[in-house]
Amino acid sequence: MNKVLRIDMENLSHKWENVKPEHQTYAGRAFTSITLSEEVDPTCHPLRAQNKIVVSPGLLAGTLAPSSGRMSVGAKSPLTGGIKEANAGGLTGTKLGSLGVRGIIIEGAPPDSEDWYSILVGKDKCEIIKTNDYAGLGLYELIGKIWKDYPTKPGIIGSGIAGQRLLKCAGVFGNNIENSDPGRYAGRGGLGAVFGSKRIVAIISDGTGGTRPAAKDQEKFDAARKVFVKSLNAHAVTGRLNDDKGEPFGGLKNYGTNVLLNILSEAGGLPTKGFSSGRFDKAAKISGEAVHDLVDRTKKKFGDKAEGKYAHSCHPGCVMACSNVVPYEDTGKMHVSPLEYESVWALGANLGISVLHDVAELNRLCNDLGLDTIEAGNTIAMFMEAGLIPYGDGPKSIELLKKAYDESSVEGKLVSSGTQTAGEALGVTRIPVVKGQALPAYDPRSIKGIGVTYATTPMGADHTAGYTVAAEILGIKGTVTDPRDLKKAELSQAFQATTAYIDSTGYCLFIAFCILDDDDGFNAMKDTVDSFLGQDIEVTSYGKDILRKEREFNKKAGFTEVDDRLPEFFRTEPLPPHNVVFDVPDEELDEVYKNM
């Protein structure tokens, strides 16, 4: 895996380059962030020609290492104004990995072009194709069309309607493994709009002729990956507990990430109705358990015709299978896939919506429009906060989101433009963003460590950037850290550094549940990486290197410690039911990156 595809959209040309010697160990987030920090002017306008898009499969993508096929998309973010990496499963990571492509760097923009393009990447080939017929389509239709045009079922990533219109809620969509649902989002940071700014609808990765990437020490690699599979399968969160009975496996397989909804609500840390409570009294109705029951119900009713599913993998080779396919109650056909915890929260609890169908429909619309669900849900909440829609009104929320299809609708544009822009446009002062990016599904007043991550990660508010919740709420690593304890700089830093490493390997972040608990699992995971590269990579220092570069980029972009803060209302408004505020001192926040 040593080729870099460099594409110039100004003159629609491309060239193949070798991976630079000093970049040999970089893939995924390491590759996107370090390339951006070396090549992009941090002060450039994120939606004009100077910005670049960097796509990179994780280091092990395409290998047989379990759950290692994820990929990173990076650019200067139009949402945060800083460096951004967004990470997703789907098919593209493994396809690019098997094609030997370490990264795709997309520069420039067609000057004054009315045309739209797609990029076809195959075995030793690249075509930049004018695809005006792909533009402006809903993404279900687009993926169906591309899979018809390219019957090899390629991986697809790109921008939907929102991104093509340069709106900052836009994520980078990816296609599901086996259906036409655009359910694999490198969602955050508005990177879909960067695709739009370069007039790119899709990057189509055709894996035909690809081969499995070889490890430097293949024997060690194969041994390690087998141990690691065993470790993942044995863990209560990631594993297949009752495999012998041929039925329900681990927590993620049964209930998906949405297993968290009831847990967080119980803990008083589930942001509800625009971050006004930490508990949603109707959480059970839209929980992972409720989805599980719906799938079972429709299976019973519709038999083989039922499309609902849990234990669904987001990318080839994922053994954790936390994804799902949510069926319509009345037909058993697929409604949306997946319906994850963050999306259920953003489009459900945070809006006070407890009708599972409505939440699934909002998610389906986001997927079709090319919107990040976390950002979109928070944006809809701004309309509620402003009194334009009542909290809890699913049908009105759906109606609002549907306006986003209409290019002449100002409401449709605003609901696609992100939480901060919408909040400010509507006169809201309780806008839950850090660095312009909306907060995810954990209230930082109840769970201080995740607040420290939200505030300090270079990514803008992002739970995946340093998921301290694992230690604070889920009791991973045996001992639970008190979520109310204020000394969280060290914890957050450790999670942020490890995450930067994992996001570079191609492994899904959820392997953390297992490797934090099981030293054998951790060592096996590390052995896969080290044997693949043929060198010993120190996890934390590798991660810190990436964080330092990202941080430096943001500093040059104009960020200061003032940007490492939560919005004022988290410090002044107590959160029911425990009536807590975010009281981590600024000094503790600044500690995370001090002397890193």
Contact positions toward a second copy, by CB under 8 A? 43-45, 47-48, 50, 165-168, 193, 197, 386, 388, 408, 410-411, 413-414, 417-418, 421-422, 424-429, 556-563, 565, 567-569, 572
Report the 10 Å Cβ neighbour count for 561.
Answer: 13
The CB-of-277 to a second copy minimum distance in angstroms stands at 16
Q: Specify whether the CB–CB gap between 100 and 249 falls below 8 A.
A: no
Tell me whether residue 43 or residue 541 sits nearer to a second copy (CB atom).
43
Tell me whether residue 408 or residue 479 sits nearer to a second copy (CB atom).
408
The CB-of-220 to a second copy minimum distance in angstroms stands at 47
Tell me whether residue 389 or residue 516 sits nearer to a second copy (CB atom).
389
Residue type, 82: G
3-class SS of residue 383: helix
The CB-of-418 to a second copy minimum distance in angstroms stands at 8
Tell me whether residue 249 or residue 383 sits nearer to a second copy (CB atom).
383
Structural Rg of the chain based on CA atoms: 22
Nearest C-alpha neighbor of 74 from the set 55, 49, 96, 95: 55
Residue type, 6: R
Whole-angstrom CA distances from 526 to 222, 316, 441, 444, 477 are 13, 21, 30, 31, 18
Tell me whether residue 234 or residue 426 sits nearer to a second copy (CB atom).
426
Tell me whether residue 99 or residue 194 sits nearer to a second copy (CB atom).
194
Tell me whether residue 173 or residue 495 sits nearer to a second copy (CB atom).
173
Phi, psi angle pair for 160, to nearest 5°: -95, -160
Tell me whether residue 308 or residue 418 sits nearer to a second copy (CB atom).
418
Distance, CA of 74 to chain centre: 12
Tokens at residue 113, please?
């072009």
Residue type, 248: P
Under DSSP, the state recorded for 170 is: B
Residue type, 165: R
The CB-of-384 to a second copy minimum distance in angstroms stands at 13
Tell me whether residue 8 or residue 411 sits nearer to a second copy (CB atom).
411
The answer to whether the bond into 577 is cis (omega within 30° of 0) is yes
Tokens at residue 499, please?
């995450």
DSSP H/E element including 84? strand 83-88
The CB-of-577 to a second copy minimum distance in angstroms stands at 20
The CB-of-189 to a second copy minimum distance in angstroms stands at 14
Tell me whether residue 410 or residue 581 sits nearer to a second copy (CB atom).
410
The CB-of-556 to a second copy minimum distance in angstroms stands at 8
Whole-angstrom CA distances from 237 to 94, 107, 316, 476, 511 are 24, 41, 20, 10, 10
Under DSSP, the state recorded for 172 is: B
Nearest C-alpha neighbor of 357 from the set 417, 397, 299, 321: 397
Nearest C-alpha neighbor of 369 from the set 413, 337, 329, 339: 413
The CB-of-108 to a second copy minimum distance in angstroms stands at 12
The CB-of-40 to a second copy minimum distance in angstroms stands at 13
The CB-of-587 to a second copy minimum distance in angstroms stands at 14
The CB-of-421 to a second copy minimum distance in angstroms stands at 5
Burial 151-188 (b: 16+ CB within 10 A, else e): eeebbbbbbbbbbbbbbbbbbbbbbbbebbbbbbbbbb
Tell me whether residue 170 or residue 508 sits nearer to a second copy (CB atom).
170
